[in-house]
Amino acid sequence: MDEPVWVFGYGSLIWRVDFDHVDVQPAWITGWQRRFWQGSVDHRGQPNAPGRVVTIVPQEGAICHGLAYRLPTDSMQTISELDHRERGGYDRVSLPIATETGTLEGLTYIANPSNSNYLGPAQPAQLAKQIAGATGPSGPNVEYLLRLDQSLTELGHPDEHVRAIVEALDTL
C-alpha cells in the first residue's frame, strides 16, 4: 500500500487552505526559521511593487511551527495544484516533520535565494513599509501578514520575526 503523503505548511498554507486533505495536525521542523524574505509578484504584490511572503531558511537550533496536512490517497492532483499555487519561486522538497505522534517524512515549499523573486533580509520597519504598500491578485499583503500572525498565535506559537513586523506596522 502507498505511504500517506504529508505536506508541511508554515505560511499561507496555514490559513488559506484551498486544497484537499484528510487530516491536519500541529507540526514543526527543526533547524529552520520562518522569514519574510521572499518577494511576491503573483499573489501579494506586482512586478513593479513586489510584496513580501515567507520562506524558511536554515538556522541551527531553530524550530518553525506550522501544520502538517495528510493528502488524499490520490495525492498527485493536489500536489500539482500546490505546485501551481507556489510557483512564484518555491521548490517542493522533502524533509522530516515532527508531530505530537512522531516524526514523518513530508513535503514543504521553500523559496531559495537562487529564485528570481527572492529579496532577502531587511529590518522589521522596512518589511512593514513594503508590506503595507503592496497588493496583488490574492489581496493585500497586510492581510497575509496579519492572518499568519493570528494563526500562529492561535496555534500557541507566535513567531518573533512575524510579531516584530506587525508591531512595526502599528508605528507606520
Report the residue from 13, 27, 57, 168 that binds ligand SIN according to the rule CB under 6 A: 13
User: Is 11 a residue that touches ligand SIN (CB under 6 A)?
Assistant: yes
Residue 105, Cβ density class (10 Å: 0-12 exposed, 13-18 middle, ≥19 buried): exposed
**Active site positions, annotated:** 86
User: Is 54 a residue that touches ligand SIN (CB under 6 A)?
Assistant: yes
User: Is 141 a residue that touches ligand SIN (CB under 6 A)?
Assistant: no
Helix (H) or strand (E) holding 15: helix 12-15
With b for 16 or more beta-carbon neighbours within 10 A and e for fewer, the 141-151 pattern comes to bbbbbbebbeb
Rank residues 12 and 33 by Cβ distance to ligand SIN and give the closer one: 12
Rank residues 12 and 117 by Cβ distance to ligand SIN and give the closer one: 12
Could you tell me which stretch among 9-17, 19-27, 127-135, 158-166 binds ligand SIN (CB under 6 A)? 9-17
User: Is 29 a residue that touches ligand SIN (CB under 6 A)?
Assistant: no
